[in-house]
Amino acid sequence: MDLHILEHRLRVTSLSKAGLERYTHGLIKLVFLRDKTRCKFFSLTEMPDDYTLVLDEEGFKELPQTDYLQVAEATWLALNVVSNGHSSTSSQTIGVTKIAKSVIAPLAQHNVSVFLLSTYQTDFILVRESDLPAVVHTLSEEFSIFKEENGESVPVDCNNVTNGFVKPKTAASPTVHPVLSPKNQFCVMSLDPDTLPTIATILMDVMFYSASLKALPADQDLDYIRFFSFSLIDGYISIVVDTQTQKRFPSNLLLTSASSELWRMVRIGGQPLGFDECGIVAQISEPLANADISAYYISTFNFDHALWALFMLPALAKGIFFLSERYMSVSFRKLQYFFLECISMNYWMMWSWVIVE
């Protein structure tokens, strides 16, 4: 397999919803007026309190610099695993599961923090630009590594990139973070970019006016969480949206997998995770990979999110075993974890752990 270092130099930001009106012009330009901007990598993920925007340097220029916008200090590079000249799709599993053992786990073991963005088409592993020597050193035995330059894939001279590289200390055991599992179900879809004008009004309403929707009940943390993700990367669109919001879009324009599966989500982190801790993605994705469970993974400025398909209930039971093996070794007084619930004929699993003092 090949590992490609894309030419995008990315910024990771958080936009407070309180300042959204100052940014709508730039965001509309980035989403709907592609011929008016040189931005090639744009991702917007909405959470209850903010938007995470991941975009290249050209896109970043479209954002006013105000107190409403938090910007992660590092510049990030996007990695993509390619098999036989195409993004790997041959595995029965899809999403981050395909790269959990070959990419995510080794980087965690070598103390490299990653920011992950799964899309309908592929998975982007974001690493700090300053960590590139460590990335190349770690993955060069497993992959042929290429770097995109002016649209061309150029082989990386691993010896040159890692010259002077000092092997980092072994990463400490990752913290076990609490997770939240809302009950809403999600769809992972795509869209022909040429049809964007057809749904422009609906998409703008979903992206910018969710705050005007009917107030959610006080126990929304257990029942429902606002989550919407839109990516436009190198001309490909990916959308993650809950089933209620999906109904607002014309079904004949949406592209889904042949099985049109629905997905459940967990949010990792009770408090903002930050960008320095290593192994957060690995501690979720590696056990799921051991159980052959397909999973998408979307990192945001404050939290991480994992999604898995509802139809994989038998495999999820196996996943419980691998996850419980991992976490029972952690010295907490008690871990309450994993419970199953059935609603009519649809089975879904909601798993969480609560650290009891």
d(CA 162, CA 289): 29
User: 321: part of which helix (H) or strand (E)?
Assistant: helix 313-327
Structural tokens at position 283: 């501690």
CB count within 10 Å of CB 356 equals 9
- DSSP string across 52-69: EEEEEHHHHTTS---TTE
pTM of the predicted model as reported, rounded to 2 decimal places: 0.84
For range 188-195, the mean pLDDT: 93
- Give the pLDDT band (50/70/90) at residue 323: low
* Mean pLDDT estimate for the chain: 81
For range 315-319, the mean pLDDT: 51
Collapse the DSSP code of 1 into the 3-class scheme (helix H, G, I; strand E, B; otherwise coil) and give the result: coil
CB 1 within 8 A of CB 102: yes
DSSP lists the bridge partners of residue 2 as 82, 144
**83-97, 130-144, 151-165: which has the minimum mean pLDDT?**
83-97
Residue 139 has pLDDT above 90, yes or no: yes
Summarize pLDDT for 202-227 with one digit per residue, the tens.
Answer: 999 999 987 554 444 444 445 788 99
% of the chain exceeding 70 in pLDDT: 75
**16-25, 126-135, 246-255, 288-297: which has the minimum mean pLDDT?**
288-297
- DSSP string across 223-247: H----EEEEEETTEEEEEEEHHHHT
User: 128: part of which helix (H) or strand (E)?
Assistant: strand 123-128
Torsion of CA 131, 277, 287, 327, to 10 degrees: 150
CB count within 10 Å of CB 259 equals 8
Going by C-alpha positions, the residue among 121, 184, 168, 174 that lies closest to residue 286 is 174
